Amino acid sequence: MTSPRVWRYRGVVSALVSVFLVVVPAGFAAEAAAYPNPGRVTGDISVHDPAVVKTSSGTYLLVHTGDNLAIKTSTDRIAFRNAGTVFPGGAPWTMTYTGGSRNLWAPDISYRNGRYYLYYSASTFGSNRSAIFLATSTTGASGTWADQGLVIETRTSDNYNAIDPNLVVDAQGRWWLSFGSFWSGIKMISLDPATGKRSGSALYSIAGRNGGAIEAPYIVRRGSYYYQYVSFDLCCRGASSTYRVMVGRSTSVTGPYVDRNGVAMTSGGGTEILSGHGSIHGPGHQAVFSDVDADVLVYHYYADNGAARLGINLIAYDAAGWPYVY
C-alpha cells in the first residue's frame, strides 16, 4: 500500500509550512496556510456524501448518496470501483418522503455485532418532510441489505430535519444517533442496541446556527473527548458551493460541544479544519474512520467543472488535542 508514504510526505510538507509561517512576512500567511489538497484517489471517484468502513478483510466499503444508495469498494484506499447499489430492486418504502425519486441520501455505515449497519435519509431538497431508515447486512455487498424500517421522521410542522444520520457508541456502550440539517440544527436521539431503532422520546440539541446552514454531523470518540464534525454553509452548488468542515468537542456524548475558543456549538460555534481552496470547492459532508496509519477524513468536494469528487485526507491532533487535516 503506497498511501502511507504519500501521507507522510504531506505531513513533512505541512511541518515545513508551519516553520515557514514563523519567518515570512504576515502578508504571505494566507497563501502559506492553505489547506492540503485531497490525497490521491483513482477509479470511480464520483461521490456525494460518502461514508466508509474498513472490513475485517482489510478492504474499504464506501456508500454514498445516489439512486438506491451507491456502493464502491477499494483494496488500498486509493483505487475505488463501483460495486452496485444497496437496494438494486428499489426502496419503495421511502417514496413517501422522496416524492417518488429513487435518490437516497447521506448514508452512515458501521460494523457492529457481526453486521453492517446502514442509516440513510429519504427527503426532497429544501424540505423537512424527511425520514431516516436503517438497513443491515452480514456482508455489505449489493443486494444483501435488509431494510429494518423507520428510525425517525419529521414533518413540515417540526422545527428540525431528519436527514444526515450518524451512529455513535459511547464509552458505556450506549448507542446514539445524531442527525440534522438547517432549521433548529443538529439533534441526537438514543437507540436500542438490540434493534438499532429509537429508544425513548428524548431529543437533544447538540449544534445549531440559529436556523442557518449547518448539517451532516459525525461524532467520533477519541480519548476522553467526543469530537463532533459538521458542515457549515452551502452544498450542492457545484463549484459555487461553500461547504466547509467544522469541529467541536465534549466530554459527554450529548454535549455541550464547544469549539477551540470555548464557543458552544449550539450557539454557532465550530473550529474550521477544512474549506475550499484552489480548485477544491465546498469540501464537506464528512465522515471519519480509524485506519492503521491515522484517523481518516472522507468527504466530497466539487471540481472546477462542478463535478462531485471523493476527498480523503488524514487527521492529526495538536498538543491540546484538537484535530487538523494533512
233 is in an annotated binding site: no
205 is in an annotated binding site: no
126 is in an annotated binding site: yes
What is d(CA 148, CA 134) in angstroms, rounded to the nearest whole number? 5
Known catalytic membership, residue 153: no
What is d(CA 30, CA 195) in angstroms, rounded to the nearest whole number? 49
108 is in an annotated binding site: no
145 is in an annotated binding site: no
164 is in an annotated binding site: yes
Residue 246's contacts (CB-CB under 8 Å, 6 or more residues apart) are: 229, 230, 231, 232, 259, 270, 271, 272, 273
49 is in an annotated binding site: yes
Which residue out of 108, 215, 233, 259 is catalytically annotated? 215
What is d(CA 64, CA 105) in angstroms, rounded to the nearest whole number? 7
Alpha-carbon separation of residue 10 from 30, 139, 291 (angstroms): 18, 34, 17
What is d(CA 31, CA 281) in angstroms, rounded to the nearest whole number? 16
Which residue out of 49, 108, 233, 259 is catalytically annotated? 49
Phi/psi for 300 (5° steps) reads: -115, 160
293 is in an annotated binding site: no
163 is in an annotated binding site: yes
Known catalytic membership, residue 272: no
Known binding residues for substrate are 49, 126, 161-164, 181-183
Annotated binding site: 49, 126, 161-164, 181-183
Q: Which residues are catalytic?
A: 49, 215
